[in-house]
Amino acid sequence: MMVGGVNVVADFVIFALLANVLGVFALAANLVATGIVVVMSFFLNFSFVWESKKSRRETAPKFVAVSLFSAWVVQSAALLIVLSVAGDNDSTRLIGKVAGILAGTVSNYLGYKHIFRS
């Protein structure tokens, strides 16, 4: 749970800095933030959460595929839906990111449980 919390906070902070402080387009900010967090998440999840007996070489491609699908498709779709419904401003970008994180978390969990089973 702690690893997931660290990932969520990192994802949200990087996104907020890029989108709301630096003015990067929300979708691009989401792609960058989630890309960084996917790398961080793999090492944290592999080492501490899943305690997998499988090798990193065996799990990495599957982990990256699930994570990038969740981040770049699921999260981005939720973000864009919120922005299209509520408009694009600092608040709605953050609300959209939270919606994306929630949707992405479900997608990740469903995918990860099959990757890291011993």
What tens digit of pLDDT does each residue of 30-65 get?
999 999 999 998 888 777 666 666 677 877 888 889
pLDDT score recorded for residue 103: 96
Q: What is the pLDDT of residue 114?
A: 74
Domain that holds residue 108: 2-115
Q: Which amino acid is at 64?
A: V
> Which residues have CB under 8 Å from 11's CB, separation 6+?
33, 34, 37, 97, 101
Q: What value does the mean pLDDT of the chain take?
A: 89
Q: Other CB atoms closer than 10 Å to residue 35's CB: what's the count?
A: 14
**Range from 19-28, 40-49, 109-118 that averages highest in pLDDT:** 19-28
| Mean pLDDT lowest among 24-28, 44-48, 100-104, 109-113 | 44-48
pLDDT: is 113 or 31 the higher one?
31
Domains held by the chain: number: 1
Residue written as tokens 């990495």? 60
Among 33, 109, 97, 96, which Cα is nearest to 70's? 109
Model confidence, pTM: 0.86
Closest CA to 82 of 12, 7, 13, 27: 27
Residue 40, CA distances (Å) to 35, 53, 98 in order: 9, 20, 19
